[in-house]
Amino acid sequence: MSLLKKFFRFLNRDKISKFESFPGPTPSFPLGNLNLLLGQNPWEVTSGLAQNYGNIYVLWFASTPQLVINSPDFFREVLESNWSNYHKDSPLKELTPVITEHSPFLANPPQWQNRRANNPFSSEWFDNWLKKQPEVLSAGMSTVVSELAAKSKGENLDLTSALQRVSFDSFSLSVAGKYLPDYVYKLFVSLGKTGSRRLTNPLILSFVLNPFFYLKRKIWLGYFERLITISENALNPEASDLIQWTSKKGAKISDAALIANTADVFYGGVYSVTSNFATVVWLLSQPENKVYEEKLKKEVKSVQKNKETFSNSDLDKMEFLDKVIREAMRLLPPVPFYSRNSSKTQVVFLNDKIKNKEYKVPTNTPIILSNYFLHRTEEHWKNALEFNPERWTLEVIKSNPYGSDYFFPFGRGPRSCMGMPYALTYLKTAIASFYAKARFEPSNKAKYEQSFFFGVMMPSGLTGKVVLDSKPN
């Protein structure tokens, strides 16, 4: 053992003694195992290490131990059967300034139950509101796709950046019933960058936020406050936006919480749906996947026929579209890992049924849960690294629903993403609208690279052109 590794053990001997039963790479002073993650995506590193260290192992981020778990049994224990013994620590501190304290995502029990139950997405009228969204979302998508094609004639588009704005604008229609001004989008981007920096650079946490951040956040939240006030004073029984529905039906939360929850819809979903939207378009643009692209286009056009918009029942008919989205989320999930901390007050135990071994987890231990690993394990998925929407037969869908052992892109258990129904509705509508009239042609320099932004795997390097279909003679 090297001198630096011995020195690390000496400095952290009390902590290390509590984790002696866990396998893992030997830490070294001063970074522990952080050197393994430098310049790498954490979900790819932890998945690679699972090949050597198994279903559970410990990594040291400097002097802080982090348990990494990769077993369905462990996931079930932490996120479902014994979920109340595990709480969120990260990303609460990092993202609270951006998302605000009213979000269920950034709360622990008992506050979490109250915030989730009173969120508009948990309302008894939510399903009826959701059914109206495909027509709302698809109404303007044809023009949007044409605009993307026009922009890319002169120069290659950055696909991820372009689709992020498309997603933001689409969310604007669902939330506010109109497109929001450019300055509001710029505020969204700026505040999002602040949150992402705080997630990826712990040193930032030790500094007071720039005063301009608070000014921007005040303007951002103030805009939604005005929208809600206007809505309450001019109710429209025909409106399909979330603000109007909340105003008509009433909210069980404070005005401040209603404003924050309305604004937080954008941070809760725009980045993750952009990730999947861009991933689908990229995968279908690859030469080896052209057969899937053609099959999807044929399905979309057969359902659309001569209609201007898609309905909720139209989306239900697009079985291959559903398979494409599932497969993209399996292979390249927008949220590739989750984090929890073990109980602050009591030791918990994790049972490895395969090795017939029980692990004692010290109090308040950070835990990394790698769904990326289980989505790609050859033990469950044949040819796991291959993009193959056809694998999703009715039998496979039934045995691998969202939130199951080997497929949980939205998480699983009581704290799974409450925005999943809307996210899937948006993705189906947006992707169907895109392929109803266009396709993506990557540039020669285009390359799919995974990056980490605001807790989401965000693809980068996707340059190319949106090309409209030729009109039949």
The reported pLDDT for the residue numbered 334 is 98
- Does 471 score more than 80 pLDDT? no
The reported pLDDT for the residue numbered 23 is 95
Q: What is the pTM of this model?
A: 0.95
pLDDT category at 211 given cuts 50, 70, 90 is confident
Residue tagged 């290659």 (tokens): 156
pLDDT category at 201 given cuts 50, 70, 90 is confident
Q: Is 49 exposed, middle or buried (0-12, 13-18, 19+ CB in 10 A)?
A: buried
**Cα 397–chain centre separation:** 21
Of residues 293 and 1, the one with the higher pLDDT is 293
Give dist(CA 36, CA 186) in Å, integer. 35
Question: What HEC string does the chain produce?
Answer: CCHHHHHHHHHCHHHHHHCCCCCCCCCECCCECHHHCCCCCHHHHHHHHHHHHCCEEEEEECCEEEEEECCHHHHHHHHHHCHHHEECECEHHHHHHHHCCCCHHHCCCCHHHHHHHCCHHHCCCHHHHHHHHHHHHHHCHHHHHHHHHHHHHHCCEEHHHHHHHHHHHHHHHHHHCCCCCHHHHHHHHHHHHHHHHHHHCHHHHHCCCCHHHHHHHHHHHHHHHHHHHHHHHCCCCCCCCHHHHHHHHCCCCCHHHHHHHHHHHHHHHHHHHHHHHHHHHHHHHCHHHHHHHHHHHHHHHHHHCCCCCCCHHHHHHCHHHHHHHHHHHHHCCCCCCEEEEECCCCCEEEEECCCCEEEEECCCCEEEECHHHHHCCCCCCCCCCCCCHHHCCHHHHHHCCCCECCECCCCCCCCCCCCHHHHHHHHHHHHHHHHCCEEEEECCCCCCEEEEECCEEEEECCEEEEEECCCCC
Residues whose CB is less than 8 angstroms from the CB of residue 412 and which lie 6 or more positions away in sequence, other chains included: 75, 76, 79, 80, 403, 404
pLDDT in tens, 78-137: 999 999 999 998 888 788 889 887 888 888 888 899 889 989 999 999 999 999 999 999
- Does 203 score more than 60 pLDDT? no
- What average pLDDT does the segment 214-240 reach? 94
- What average pLDDT does the segment 26-47 reach? 94
pLDDT category at 342 given cuts 50, 70, 90 is very high
The reported pLDDT for the residue numbered 139 is 93
Contact (Cβ atoms closer than 8 angstroms) between residue 277 and residue 163: yes
Highest mean pLDDT among 47-56, 321-330, 344-353: 321-330
pLDDT in tens, 389-411: 999 999 999 999 999 999 999 99
- What average pLDDT does the segment 166-181 reach? 97
Torsion of CA 96, 98, 102, 107, to 10 degrees: -30
pLDDT in tens, 319-332: 999 999 999 999 99
> Architecture of domain 101-321+411-468 in CATH?
Orthogonal Bundle (1.10)
- What average pLDDT does the segment 437-446 reach? 97
Give dist(CA 141, CA 170) in Å, integer. 9
- What average pLDDT does the segment 335-362 reach? 90
Q: Which of 327, 311, 331, 335 is nearest to 432 (CA)?
A: 311
Amino acid at position 188, single letter: F
Give the percent of the chain with pLDDT over 90: 82
- Does 182 score more than 80 pLDDT? yes
- Does 466 score more than 50 pLDDT? yes
Amino acid at position 61, single letter: F
The reported pLDDT for the residue numbered 306 is 84
Contact (Cβ atoms closer than 8 angstroms) between residue 360 and residue 467: no
The reported pLDDT for the residue numbered 202 is 59
Q: Which of 299, 331, 340 is nearest to 318 (CA)?
A: 299
pLDDT in tens, 268-299: 999 999 999 999 999 999 999 999 999 999 99
The reported pLDDT for the residue numbered 206 is 45
- What average pLDDT does the segment 234-257 reach? 89
CA atoms within 13 A on the CB side of 451: 16
pLDDT in tens, 357-366: 889 999 999 9
Q: Which of 71, 52, 79, 58 is nearest to 370 (CA)?
A: 71
The reported pLDDT for the residue numbered 473 is 39
> 332 is written with which tokens?
């390249």
The reported pLDDT for the residue numbered 472 is 54
Torsion of CA 401, 402, 405, 410, to 10 degrees: 170
Q: For the chain, give every domain's residue range.
A: 101-321+411-468
The reported pLDDT for the residue numbered 207 is 55
Residue tagged 């052209």 (tokens): 290
- What average pLDDT does the segment 27-42 reach? 93
